[in-house]
Amino acid sequence: MNKIPLRAYTEMAVALILVGSAVVASKVITGSFPVFLATGVRFAVSTAILLPLLLKVEHGFPRLEMRDAGMLFLQAFAGNFLFSIFLLYGLKLTSATESGIILGTVPATIGLLSFLFLRERLAWQKIAGMLVATLGIVVINSAGAGTAGQGSNPLLGNILIFGAVIGEALWTIFGKAVGGRVTPLTIAALTSVFGLALSAPFAFYEAWNFHFAAVALLNWLPIVYHGVATVIAYILWYQGIAKVTASTAGIFSGIIPVSAVVLSVLLLREPMFWSYWVGIGCVCGAIVLISGRWHSTQRSSHS
């Protein structure tokens, strides 16, 4: 009995550590490649892995209604294409450490958007979680402003990163419209295909005048890693989340800002400010508050 939760916890933890590491990889990518070209290559890598896997598992291309295909396109536009563009442009201006912490506010943002667009009820735990998450972002942006290591324009960069958060949250909101009718692997594969199609024209435009020969082979590794890590993280996450409660999954998402901060400090040698610790605490506290409410809602719906 205990082996199933332990395996699920391990799968989710590894998945979210990979998500945090992808933030660090993206920071490295922005130093060598233009944004749209990097985005296109990343989606090309993930599509090359996910599409054959989908065809093998589903024994062919799955049938989709036009409505579901439209929702998957909107998912890809918000959560794949816009997310990647905002993330990469934001990382040009701010640190990977701050970006990772801000990305941890995705659960709070999902709660707010669910209230605005899906008319889901906002309990006090969700409201408190959103306020705590907002406090964390405010502290990150106000403390240590202008300090070396934060980036050339941390405020604008953090705004763009929060744009990526909104894109990721919309990915989840649109996903609710196809939940139960489309498998997670189908969602992952087709949104990756759509992401590649959306970024391809801009990627080709940037590639036209890009000097590929000037890029060292090692500089290609972060893009390949990002694409592969996205695939592995997605598969592990959905394997793990199927075995645990929603509240547990929500709490685990606090690993993203922690892993991003630790890896940014260790691998990128970014400085660690006291405001980052406050931000991590606020984000993790918000996740616990919000996921606690999800759990109570889930229990009441099954009673």
| Whole-number percent of the chain with pLDDT over 90 | 27
Query: Which tokens go with 192?
Result: 């990756």
Mean pLDDT of 213-218: 85
> Could you give the CA distance from residue 229 to residue 224 in angstroms, rounded to a whole number?
8
Name the token pair of 5: 């939760």
pLDDT above 70: residue 248: no
Cα(216)–Cα(175) distance, integer angstroms: 38
For the segment 148-159, the average pLDDT, to the nearest whole number, is 76
Q: What is the pLDDT of residue 129?
A: 76
**Per-residue model confidence (pLDDT) at position 116:** 77
Which region holds residue 59: left if phi is over 0, alpha if psi is between -120 and 50, else beta?
Answer: left
Per-residue pLDDT at 176 exceeds 80: no
Query: What is the predicted pLDDT for the residue at 85?
Result: 95
- List the one residue out of 91, 86, 33 whose CA is nearest residue 207: 33
Cα distances (angstroms) measured from residue 215 to each of 33, 46, 207, 218, 231: 9, 21, 12, 8, 25
Lowest mean pLDDT among 47-61, 76-90, 146-160: 146-160
Q: Provide the pLDDT for residue 282.
A: 83
* Average predicted confidence (pLDDT) for the chain: 81
Residue 90 has what pLDDT?
A: 93
Residue 174 sits at φ, ψ, to 5 deg, of: -65, -30
Output the pLDDT for position 84. Answer: 92
Distance between CA atoms of residues 20 and 97, nearest Å: 10
